Amino acid sequence: MRLTILGGGGFRVPLVYGALLGDTHEQRVDELVLHDVDERRLGVIDHVLRQMAAGHPGAPRVSATTVLDEALDGTDFVFSAIRVGGLEGRTCDERVALDLGVLGQETTGPGGLAYGLRTLPVALDIARRVARLAPEAWFINFTNPAGMITQAMQTVLGDRVMGICDSPLGLGRRAAHALGLHLDATRFGYSGLNHLGWLQTLVADGRDHLPELLARPDLLLTTEEGRLFGPEWLQTIGAIPNEYLYYYYFTREAIAGIRGSAETRGEYLLRSQADFYRAVGDAPERAHDLWVQTRRARDETYMAEARSEGEERDAADVAGGGYEGVALALMAAIARNERASMLLNVRNGSAVPGLAADAVVEVPCVVDATGPQPLSAVPLTGHPLGLVQQVKAVETLTIRAAQEGSERLALEALALHPLVDSVTTARLLLTGYRERIPALDAVFR
Ligand code: G6P
Ligand code: MN
């Protein structure tokens, strides 16, 4: 079984490789193809993987290429985790917005639209190549903004494209853990869009345990979400939101937190990742050690703007990881026809009432050899439904803007985003992004 990773020189690729090394099933990935546009980064990650493989006789064979068609030709699974415009682009996504006083974040708010706009043409090109070179392949998309990118790619590849994220599973895991429930025996009534969902029920032994959790501030405070939103707010809305909802419920604090720190997340990563790739270039024999060290620091500082100074992340969250586990479980369920349930970004159909059938939503699914099937989700009502509908409208406008190269549609999308508070600001955002990010500007030329 062959797996192709797009963004194969990316920093998180060793996590996927580690998960592959742990897979002993006879029907497993035995061939890994890394693709990246940057040869140097590919070389560094290749060093890390070789050091990880030492002592594993059954380790998958690894090859690396900068030729996309070569990487895709005849493959069985594709994971995509690319970053168009690199981390420099991410810092622009953030800074252009922050300079205008609105949220500057890579996936949420105007930054996510800027990231989406420049990524969509690349993602659609990849989808067309996959349709031609690997029409039977399953495509697992981690590329952010994952919901929007998955939805656009589905116009070419249909349900063979699925989007994944670690955050809903992380939330479910924390909630279940707080109550001492077994993860495998718990069903998560979680639904919404990527980075915009709510846990509304937590079913084990045939009943919903979420009210129990919501009634216990002490238990809520053992979870990242309890500390982020405060038990009282969770009790008020009667659900546990995805951590990314912090940017909606506490917009001012989030903006102030990011503006008040010496560097944005993108700036921190630009610096620390550059250090890592350079250091491995200088000392390739230390590739894996350097990777472990850099990864620990990255995980510990994740979403630091949402925590008070000195407050550390849960050791379990830092160690828990996640997206590589979701990706591997998804591949196993499809390849081995082992029915599994998981939270995925898939075509809505009728799972979430109030959204179009072809809208991509993040919901519980059952997966087997035929792919994922969304389960009918706990319906969204009230403010979550309103918010999801508005953000989905904005995502759909952004996809059309990229497909048609339309400034007018891009402006409409930015202006209608709930975190952009004026049409004038939206105009300034679009101008700023076009000036700072050539790949984004190219969408309109
Ligand atoms: C979580 C999200 C991902 C996102 C990542 C950012 O894992 O689910 O979608 O890419 O955080 O982490 P970073 O270390 O790049 O800030
Ligand atoms: Mn995510």
Q: Say if residue 126's pLDDT is above 80.
A: yes
Taking the C-alpha atoms of residue 331 and residue 347, their distance in angstroms, rounded to an integer, is 18
- 61 close to 99: Cβ distance less than 8 angstroms: no
- For the Cβ of 298 lying below 6 angstroms from any atom of ligand 1, the answer is yes
Residue with CA at minimum distance from ligand 1 atom 6: 302
pLDDT tens figures, 340-392? 999 999 999 999 999 999 999 999 999 999 999 999 889 999 999 999 999 99
What is the pLDDT confidence band of residue 316, given thresholds at 50, 70 and 90?
A: low
Average pLDDT in the chain = 96
Ligand 1 geometric centre to CA of 321 (Å): 11
Cα of first residue to Cα of last residue in the chain, in angstroms, is 40
Mutate to test the pocket of ligand 1, among 144, 148, 149 (most ligand atoms within 8 A of CB): 144
- For the Cβ of 177 lying below 6 angstroms from any atom of ligand 1, the answer is no
Taking the C-alpha atoms of residue 308 and residue 38, their distance in angstroms, rounded to an integer, is 37
Nearest atom (ligand 1) to Cα of 299: 14
Residue with CA at minimum distance from ligand 1 atom 16: 302
Nearest atom (ligand 1) to Cα of 165: 8
The model scores a pTM over 0.85: yes
Over range 159-174, report the average pLDDT.
96
pLDDT tens figures, 175-196? 999 999 999 999 999 999 999 9
Q: Say if residue 318's pLDDT is above 60.
A: no
φ, ψ of residue 31 to 5 degrees: the values are -140, 125
Ligand 1 geometric centre to CA of 107 (Å): 9
pLDDT at 135: 98
Name 207's bridge partners.
Answer: 204
**Angle (CA) 324 439 302, round 5°:** 35
- 302 close to 269: Cβ distance less than 8 angstroms: no
What is the pLDDT confidence band of residue 19, given thresholds at 50, 70 and 90?
A: very high
pLDDT tens figures, 87-105? 999 999 999 999 999 999 9
Domain coordinates of the chain in residue numbers? 168-249, 256-306
Ligand 2 geometric centre to CA of 237 (Å): 23
pLDDT at 277: 98
Ligand closest to the CA atom of residue 171: 1
**Angle (CA) 340 75 4, round 5°:** 80
**What is the percentage of the chain residues whose pLDDT exceeds 70?**
98
What is the pLDDT confidence band of residue 312, given thresholds at 50, 70 and 90?
A: confident
Nearest atom (ligand 1) to Cα of 146: 9
pLDDT at 308: 77
